[in-house]
Every structure is written in C-alpha cells, then in structure tokens.
Structure 1
Amino acid sequence: MKIAVLVPCYNEELTIGKVVEDFKRELPEADIYVYDNNSKDNTSKIAEEKGAIVVKEYRQGKGNVVRSMFRDIDADIYIMVDGDDTYPAEAARDMIQPIIDGEADMVIGDRLSNGTYFQENKRPFHDFGNNLVKGLIGLLFKNEIRDIMTGYRAFNRYFVKTMPVLSDGFQIETEMSIHALDKKFLLKEIPIDYRDRPEGSESKLSTFKDGYRVLSALGSLFKNYKPMAFFGIVTLVSFLLGLLVGVPVIFEFVKTSFVSKVPSAILAVGFMVIAILSLVCGVILDTIVKNNKMNYELYLTRYKDLSIKK
C-alpha cells in the first residue's frame, strides 16, 4: 500500500524538521508531503533538507491546503498531521491499522480521552471552544465523537477522493467530521498523547477569530445538511413570537370588535409570515438534500466499482 503523510505548514521552521524526521522513522515506507502555505521563514528549506516533498500552496488557509492535498496526492492511505510537533508520530501505526483492516474510512486521533491535552494545552479558551463545538455537533448530529477538531487523522483513498472540501481555514476539521457523519462513513477514534508547542513556536489559531469562523461554519453546515431542522427552529421561534405579540390583539378584537394595537397586529402577521416561509423553505430544501444524498450514494457506488475494475 502507498502511504502519504500530509503536513500543512505555515511558519513552522522550529518544528517541521523534527516532524519529518519522526514520521520517516516511524513510517519509512511513506512519502511525506509538506505543503507550505506562504511561510515567511525557512519551513520549506528545512523540510526539503529532511527529505520531504515540498509543495507551495499560495491560497492562504488550512482548508485550501487540504483541498490541494486531497486533489493532488494519490495514495492508498493518508495521514494528516500538523507541522507544529504537537502530535506523536509514534501513534502513526495505530492510526493507519483500522484503515488497513477495513474498519474505518477515517481515523481520528483523540487528544482528549487520556487527559494529556488538558495537561499540556496552555490556552484555556481552546478547551472551552473544543467542548463547545463537540457539544453542539453531538446535539445537532447525534454522535459520540470525542475530539471533533483534532488535526491528526488518517483516511483511506475512498474518503479522500470523495470528500468535497468547501472550507478555506481551520473549519476544515469540523467540515470533515460532519461530512463523515452525514454520509455514514466508517469512523474510529484512537486515543493519542498530545504535547504543547515547544518554546518559541506560536500557534496560528486565533482563539476568538477562528473560533467565530468555526461556529459560523457549524451553523452553515447545520443548515446545509439538516435544513428541515434548521428552518424548523426558525419556524417555531417565529410562530411563538407571533403568538406572543398577536394573542393580546386577538383578545382585544374579540372583546371590542376593534383593534387599537395596529403595530402589534402588523408585527404578529410579519412573524407568522416568516414562520410559514421558513417552513416552506425547510420542506423544499429537505427534499433537495435527500435527493442529493441519493445521488451521492450512487456516486460512491460508481466510484467503488471503478476502483475495483482498476
């Protein structure tokens, strides 16, 4: 089997050399690809000196890097890992084994189960963000994935070549998790150790800016994957607000045959119109999404048939 280690990088000259060396030691048969995302330091030079295949990605953002990696690289097994030396190369064999055994299409390196993430991570808001996104996805998509946003993952070719990457930034991990859940890919989590960045190495993840982007992406993905639930919530809220504003107007009309609260009446009608339109949008989009799912299932079947024939 051809194994590819995918390392998206941006200004990681302090750690990229060790990352490449570690994975060469643990997976000597693998090709290691370092995609340099406009680094302003010696990331590319060091990676190349250590024996990695270096590719430039000029569109800024981790999602753009992953999109290019998935499109360009042909392999049977893929391992994606950050270039900041926070994930152990020693876990690589354990990560790819479920792929080899056919037990998983995507393996998730779970940083949270064994407690090392909470011991090593020095950014408390990152803990809060991880738990918030994990809780929201668990609520909205009914799953038990423990580490939604880990950057350490393994995939088979089937997943990589059928995954539509739409995100351009750090939302990519959330997008991959939701896509895999929605399309019923086989998932497995492997507990891994986590270590914080070495001194002098700075995270490119902005707690609040990128946190907002992840939450926005989660809302957008919820709307796209489950439109009936999304617009159902809008319908329910609008309907309840319409009742709250409109019931006093109705009581007044029943008692006096006259409406003095004209603005309230107009507002109530507006809320009810929004509720009806949202319900109609939800029904229409839900039908479209179900048809797209059927077409995607047929596409996956054709892809497997073509892969078998090859």
Structure 2
Amino acid sequence: MKVFVMIPAYNEEFTIARVIKEIKQASRDYRILVVDDGSKDNTFEVAKKAGAHYVIKNKKNLGLAQAFKRGLEECLKLKADIIVNIDADFQYNALEIPRLIQPILDEKADIVLTDRKVLNLSHMPFGKKYGNLISTLVTRFVSGFPVRDAQSGFRAFSRDAALKLNIFSDYTYVQETIIQAVDKKLKILQMPCEFRARHGKSRLISNLFSYAKKAGLTIIRSFVRYKPLKALLTISFLPLILGILLGLRFLYFFLMGDKGHVQSLILAAILLIIGFQIIVLAFIADTIGANRKVNEELLYLQKKKEFSK
C-alpha cells in the first residue's frame, strides 16, 4: 500500500524542512512529494535537502488550487494508493497521518477531512476565525454535507477518490473538493486535528477580504456547477416572493376601492416573469448537469487507464 504525502508550498523555506522531518517521524514508508508553486525563495532547494522523495516546481505561481491539482496528478502517476495533503507551514501535526489514513485502510471512507476546532483556537485572529465559520456554514448549505471545518487542508484521499476529483479553481480547492465529493457520493469521514500557531504571514490569506471574495466565488461556481437545480431555484425565490407580495398589495388596494398603484402590478408581473424564467433555466441546467456527470464518468475512466500505465 503506497501512501504519498504531498505538500503544496509557496515561499516556505523556513518551515518546509520541519514538515518533511515530522512526516518521516510518522513513518519512513511514506513517500513525500513537494509541489513548489513558483517560490521566490529557496523552498525547492530546502525541500530536496530535507529528503523529500519528489520535488517539482511550477515555473510561476499558479495558486494553491492548481498546485494541489498537480500534486494529485503526480501522486497518481507514481501509483499512490492513498494521498495525504498537508500544508507547508508546519501548522498541522504530521504525526497524526497514521490516524488520518486508517479509515481509508479499513475501507470505511474515501476521503477523511480534519476539524481544527477553530472556535477554540486562541491563536487564530478574530476575523479569520469567524470567516472560517461562515465559509464552513455556506459550504455545508451548498454541499448538503455537515462539514465541521471546510477550510482545513489536512486531508486524505483514496486513489479512487483522487481520480474522481476535478479541480477547476485557480485559488483554493478546499470547498470545491467537498462539494464535488458529495456530488459523486464519496464516503467522507471527519476527525479532529491539532492546529499550531503560524509563525509569519499567511501566503494564502494575506488579505481577509480578498480571500473571502475569491473563496466565495469558488463556492458559488461549484454550487451552480454541481447543484444547478437547487442553486437556481433558490435564486428564483426572491423575485417570486417579491412579485407575489406586490401583487397582493395591488389586490388589497384594488378591493378597497383604490384604482391606483398600477406600478405595483407592473413590477409584480415583471418579477414573477423573471422568477418563472429562472425556474425554467434551473431545469435546463439540471438536464445539462446530467450530461456533465456522463462526461465526468468518462474522464474518470480515462484517467484511471492513463495513470495505471
């Protein structure tokens, strides 16, 4: 059973060696793959010197999601049976990897997520703490899965699960992979994990508002892509409800003998038409979604064949 631990990294020369050392302490059997996402420092050289088995580098910084995607593909090419993703900043405890992968070894899970218990973290800034909470609640609503910590990057995948995932985002993969996994009916388990204080500035969340905007856009796109019927029906409620309320308002005044308020009737009609058009669009999108699932199944079979060579 080949277990690969992949580490997407960007300008982490001061911590990458400690992460690699701790992975080796967890087990000498784990293969370590570092994806240097165009670092401007010595991350690539330090990772090699620290003993990573494979170190690859993007020519330029493509973003965490694309570094994660490349790492998955490289692990699959190298015949990995289980793939563990861990950050390069030494905030996660790599000694927990054996516990993380056990449900996959026991065939009880396809994906194992971790829960950092962010509300209990005294070292996490207030903005990030409640930003994480909001993002998790939104991901929970969109995916329909009771995820406890959608932003945790410390997670494990079976080979089959990794083959079925397709990363489209350029920014972050954490929410998208959960939404996809639920859509593909993969078995997901969750367990608590240690999360240490970070030394230095976050490479991903340098600006909280920028992160919220980009991550939020990724969630919305994934919602519409994988649950078009639910997404568009949810959107249609607003114009429909407003149209009904304005229509009832006009009817009330009309029955009271007031022949005015025609503007309310016109606006109500426009809103109801928009609402019904969105509903029609929702069913069209749902039909297209069925075709997407067929294409993704074909892609899964193609990747399975390609990475088995």
Q: Equivalent of 1:127, from 126, 129, 147?
A: 129
> What amino acid sits opposite 1:5 in the alignment?
V
Q: 2:269 — aligned with what?
A: 269
Residue number in structure 1 paired with 2:278 = 278
Q: Partners of 2:304 and 2:164 in 1: how far apart?
A: 14
Contact 2:243 2:268 in 1 (8 A): yes
State the partner residue of 2:107: 102
2:174 maps to what in 1? 173
Amino acid at match of 2:33: Y
1:149-160 aligned at under 5 Å gives the runs: 149-160=151-162
1:35-76 CA-to-partner distances (Å, cap 9, x unmatched) read 111212121111111111221122421001011112222311
User: Matched residues in 1 for 2:182 and 2:123: separation?
Assistant: 27
Local SS of the residue matching 1:161: helix
Alpha-carbon separation, structure 2, partners of 1:219 and 1:96: 30
1:145–1:14 Cα change, 3 Å = same
Q: Quick one: distance in 1 between partners of 2:131 and 2:302?
A: 36
Structure 1 distance, partners of 2:108, 2:94, is 21
Distance in 1 between the 2:141 and 2:131 partners? Answer: 15
Deviation of 1:252 (Å): 6.0
Q: Distance in 2 between matches of 1:78 and 1:16?
A: 18
What amino acid is the match of 1:225? Answer: Y
Task: Provide structure 1 residue ranges, at least 5 long, that are not aligned to the other structure.
Answer: none
Tell me by how many angstroms 1:209 deviates.
Answer: 0.9
Q: Do residues 34 (structure 1) and 34 (structure 2) align?
A: yes
Task: Output the TM-score relative to the length of structure 1.
Answer: 0.87
Amino acid at match of 2:96: A
Q: Deviation at 1:244? A: 2.9
How far apart, in 1, do the equivalents of 2:235 and 2:114 lie?
36
Taking the aligned partners of 1:44 and 1:235, their CA distance within structure 2 comes to 49
Q: Secondary structure at the match of 1:108?
A: strand
CA offset digits 1:197-252 (Å, max 9, x no partner): 13xx2112132211222222222222222222222222221112122333444566
Is 1:88 paired with 2:93?
yes
Q: CA RMSD in A?
A: 2.6
C-alpha change, 1:272 and 1:225, in structure 2 (3 Å) is same
Q: Conserved in 2, the CA contact under 8 Å of 1:64 and 1:169?
A: yes
CA deviations 1:239-278 (Å, max 9, x no partner) are 12122333444566678796x5554443222212211110
Distance 1:40 1:24, change over 3 A: same
| Code of the aligned partner of 2:144 | K
Percent identity reads 31
Q: 1:25 and 1:209 mapped to 2: Cα distance?
A: 37
Shift of 1:152: 0.3
1-structure distance, mates of 2:65, 2:151: 13
Are 1:54 and 2:55 counterparts?
yes
1:14 aligned residue: 14
Conserved 8 A contact 2:87-2:153: yes
Q: 1 CA distance for matches of 2:161 and 2:226?
A: 18
Aligned partner letter, 1:78: I
Structure 1, 79-88 or 13-22: larger mean CA deviation: 13-22
Task: Tell me the TM-score normalised to structure 2 length.
Answer: 0.87
Report if the CA contact (8 A) 2:26-2:97 is conserved.
yes
The separation in 1 between residues aligned to 2:180 and 2:291, in whole angstroms, is 16
Partner of 2:201: 202
> SS of 2:152's equivalent?
coil
- Judge conservation of contact 1:94–1:190 (CA < 8 Å) in 2: no
2:7 is aligned with what amino acid? V
